[in-house]
């Protein structure tokens, strides 16, 4: 009994020492905060090169590549995330609830009526970075906002409906810009405040030799300056010593950013990505497949972890304007032919969600769980090959059929998932001819609407309004299903333009539209999976966040520092 008591006391002391050590580390974090060093990381899509450096090209990846040197009017308030009040996780790629927003380039904004407009009061003392041959340092003004937003709206590649509700921009004075609206837009903040395309771009960038798309001309107001780009290798961002923002840690204010450089590595091969993390060649990896976690926890127990549902939905889109997918019986049959729970068990290691699109479970206000879907929609997530064959026979395809499906050749999980779907469909007589292609070609096929009848498709969850619009409204760029449904078009437009609806009422309409879209089976709905973010312990003041706006991690990493002494003591340079 005495021996057991001694063991208990020793165990208790060990636990107390561990807890106390963690407490002390947290308490002294501000004292140990340090400037300098280089942060190397892999973003959510480390296999892709930048698609464009000009926001008028309307590419979804713009915020990931430009977010370190260009800023937006609005961003997510990180103090309401894991490092603060923990109200929001900052994992979603394109949703910041209204109560989580804060101004970035603006101090405040106010919605006014008669006429309908939003008045933006800009921050004073924000300066454009000096870039030799491109522009001199000068103060950021309302003229810059009006120029950039008007250019974006009038761009040749502008997405239909996206900014058409804006009438015009007006400059009241150097620090006051007014957006006049033709009609109300419930998700205005996403579309021109913190979204994919709306970083404020300097007019000097467009006027420079080679134009705004040339990376050497890139400049902004952000915490870093874009100083090097090596295709297929890396993007380098160097500290902007004159940056305006700061971070308060344990009551003490620190000027941002902390690190001298941030290098976004570009690594195509997944195994090479994992090796780079394992060997400390990168400090932080945003998107790690769960299959690597157990092994890394054994070989590198010092790594820190954060788990979250993947920010994209995965599916085999079926062109509803093309036979045989104009017949809902065929679309339903293909869903019933795929064993989705088995995909979770075998491919995702049992760690996935059957219903993950249009909204994931983390979007609580608009998500409908499987058990609450109407019976016809719920059935689409069951495995019933016998009924699938019956439906195909009723539709006139007793012996099945053959169709082509295009797919991007990265990442590997996408290809593995497609292989399983192809095998399931073959069992009911449906043959899929896969055509793999590089990402730009794959994207171009879809945006130009010349993609194949089947299209292995991945798109992010967006926000309650944007996902319904971009995927299911007629004529939208990301509507790979070629869905054209009067009910969806009318309901979405009425809801978004109704200025008298509360957020809760508008979100409920989007939830209903999501359920309706699921039930139409415009795709073979595929399960969602969880992924991991991993970082070394020398990465400080980082709490697992990955986005403060659409694909934009820059404000998070500007607040992160490298404990260079710890890194060196652990044997890494």
Block residue for tokens 């419930």: 186
Listed by start position, the domains of the chain span: 34-290+536-569, 312-529
Please compute the mean of the pLDDT values over residues 11-28 and round it to a whole number: 35
Is a pLDDT exceeding 60 seen at residue 380? yes
Is a pLDDT exceeding 80 seen at residue 29? no
Asked if the peptide bond before residue 480 counts as cis, ω within 30 degrees of 0, the response is no
pLDDT at 359: 93
Please compute the mean of the pLDDT values over residues 181-195 and round it to a whole number: 94
- Phi/psi of residue 305, each to 5°? -135, 150
Q: What is the dihedral of CA 82, 85, 87, 92, to 10 degrees?
A: -30
pLDDT more than 90, % of the chain: 84
Number of Cβ within a 10 Å radius of residue 66:
25
- Average pLDDT in the chain: 92
Q: Residue 330 — very low, low, confident or very high, per pLDDT cuts 50/70/90?
A: very high
pLDDT at 92: 87
Answer for the pair 140, 104: CB distance below 8 angstroms, yes or no: no
Q: Residue 231 — very low, low, confident or very high, per pLDDT cuts 50/70/90?
A: very high
Per DSSP, the residues of 355-367 read --SSS-TT-TTT-
Is a pLDDT exceeding 80 seen at residue 79? yes
Cα torsion angle, 150, 152, 153, 154, sign: positive
Answer for the pair 256, 262: CB distance below 8 angstroms, yes or no: no
- Phi/psi of residue 100, each to 5°? -100, -5
Is a pLDDT exceeding 70 seen at residue 25? no
The pLDDT tens digits for 512-554 are 999 999 999 999 999 999 999 999 999 999 999 999 988 899 9
Domain 34-290+536-569 in CATH 3.40.367.20 = no
Closest by CA position to 466, among listed 199, 201, 192, 200: 192
pLDDT at 310: 86
Please compute the mean of the pLDDT values over residues 151-165 and round it to a whole number: 95
Is a pLDDT exceeding 50 seen at residue 7? no
> What token pair was written down for 93?
């790629």
Please compute the mean of the pLDDT values over residues 12-26 and round it to a whole number: 35
Helix or strand (DSSP H, E) at 297: helix 293-299
Burial of 412 (0-12, 13-18, 19+ CB in 10 A): middle
Residues 6+ apart with CB under 8 A from 50: 61, 65, 215, 229, 235
Please compute the mean of the pLDDT values over residues 12-35 and round it to a whole number: 45
> What token pair was written down for 433?
């001819």
pLDDT at 398: 97
Residues of 370-384 as b/e, b for ≥16 C-beta within 10 angstroms?
eeebeeebbbbbebe
The pLDDT tens digits for 386-427 are 999 999 999 999 999 999 999 998 776 778 999 999 999 999
Per DSSP, the residues of 153-202 read HT-TTPPTTTSTTEEEEEEEETTEEEEEESS--TTHHHHHTSSSS-----
pLDDT at 261: 98
Please compute the mean of the pLDDT values over residues 20-26 and round it to a whole number: 34
The pLDDT tens digits for 466-519 are 999 999 999 999 999 999 999 999 999 999 999 888 889 999 999 999 999 999
Residues 6+ apart with CB under 8 A from 176: 119, 120, 121, 122, 142
Answer for the pair 212, 201: CB distance below 8 angstroms, yes or no: yes
Residues 6+ apart with CB under 8 A from 87: 80, 81, 99, 100
Answer for the pair 433, 402: CB distance below 8 angstroms, yes or no: yes
For the domain spanning 312-529, the CATH number is: 3.10.105.10
Is a pLDDT exceeding 60 seen at residue 309? yes
Closest by CA position to 452, among listed 493, 519, 402, 490: 402
Is a pLDDT exceeding 90 seen at residue 74? yes
> What token pair was written down for 71?
């800023």
Is a pLDDT exceeding 60 seen at residue 26? no
pLDDT at 460: 86
pLDDT at 311: 80
Answer for the pair 116, 168: CB distance below 8 angstroms, yes or no: no
pLDDT more than 70, % of the chain: 94
Is a pLDDT exceeding 50 seen at residue 10? no
Q: Residue 109 — very low, low, confident or very high, per pLDDT cuts 50/70/90?
A: very high
Ramachandran assignment for 114, one of left (phi > 0), alpha (psi -120 to 50 degrees), beta (any other): left
């Amino acid at each position: 009994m005495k021996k057991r008591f001694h063991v208990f006391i020793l165990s208790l002391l060990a636990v107390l020492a561990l807890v106390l050590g963690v407490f002390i580390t947290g308490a002294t974090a501000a004292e140990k905060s340090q400037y300098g060093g280089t942060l190397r990381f892999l973003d959510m899509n480390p296999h892709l090169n930048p698609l464009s450096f000009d926001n008028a090209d309307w590419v979804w990846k713009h915020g990931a590549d430009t977010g370190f040197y260009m800023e937006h009017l609005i961003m997510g308030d990180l103090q309401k995330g894991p490092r603060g009040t923990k109200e929001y996780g900052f994992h979603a790629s394109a949703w910041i609830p209204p109560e989580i927003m804060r101004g970035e380039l603006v101090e405040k904004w106010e919605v006014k009526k008669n006429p309908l407009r939003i008045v933006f009061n800009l921050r004073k003392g924000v300066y454009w970075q000096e870039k030799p041959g491109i522009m001199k340092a000068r103060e950021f003004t309302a003229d810059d906002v009006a120029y950039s937003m008007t250019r974006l709206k009038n761009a040749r590649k502008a997405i239909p409906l996206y900014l058409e509700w804006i009438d015009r921009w007006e400059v009241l004075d150097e620090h006051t810009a007014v957006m006049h609206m033709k009609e109300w837009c419930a998700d205005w903040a996403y579309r021109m405040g913190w979204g994919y395309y709306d970083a404020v771009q300097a007019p000097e960038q467009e006027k420079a030799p080679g134009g705004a798309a040339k990376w050497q001309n890139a400049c902004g107001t952000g915490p870093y300056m874009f100083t090097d780009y090596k295709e297929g290798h890396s993007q380098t961002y160097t500290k902007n010593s004159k940056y305006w923002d700061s971070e308060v840690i344990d009551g003490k204010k620190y000027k941002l950013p902390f690190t001298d450089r941030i290098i976004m590595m570009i690594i195509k091969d997944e195994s090479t990505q994992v090796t780079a993390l394992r060997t400390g060649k990168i400090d932080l990896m945003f998107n790690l497949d769960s299959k690597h976690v157990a092994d890394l926890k054994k070989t590198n127990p010092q790594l820190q972890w954060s788990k979250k549902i993947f920010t994209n939905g995965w599916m085999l889109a079926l062109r509803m304007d093309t036979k045989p997918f104009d017949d809902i019986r065929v679309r339903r049959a293909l869903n019933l032919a795929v064993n989705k729970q088995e995909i979770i068990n075998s491919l995702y290691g049992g760690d996935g969600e059957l219903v993950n699109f249009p909204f994931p479970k983390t979007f609580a206000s608009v998500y409908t769980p499987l058990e609450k879907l109407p019976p016809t929609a719920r059935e689409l997530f069951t495995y019933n090959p016998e009924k699938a064959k019956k439906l195909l026979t009723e539709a006139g395809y007793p012996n099945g059929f053959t169709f082509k499906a295009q797919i991007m050749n990265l990442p590997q999980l996408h290809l593995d998932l497609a292989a399983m779907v192809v095998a399931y469909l073959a069992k009911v007589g449906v043959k899929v001819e896969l055509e793999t292609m590089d990402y730009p070609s794959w994207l171009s096929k879809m945006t130009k609407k010349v993609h194949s009848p089947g299209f292995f498709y991945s798109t992010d969850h967006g926000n309650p309004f944007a996902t319904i619009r971009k995927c299911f409204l007629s004529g939208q760029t990301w509507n790979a299903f070629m869905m054209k449904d009067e009910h969806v078009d009318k309901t979405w437009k009425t809801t978004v333009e109704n200025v008298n609806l509360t957020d809760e009422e508008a979100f409920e309409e989007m939830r209903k539209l999501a359920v309706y879209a699921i039930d139409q089976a415009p795709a073979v709905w595929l399960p969602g999976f969880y992924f991991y973010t991993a970082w070394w312990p020398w990465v400080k003041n980082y709490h697992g966040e990955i986005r403060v706006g659409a694909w934009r991690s820059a404000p998070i990493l500007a607040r992160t520092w490298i404990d260079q002494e710890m890194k060196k003591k652990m044997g890494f340079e």
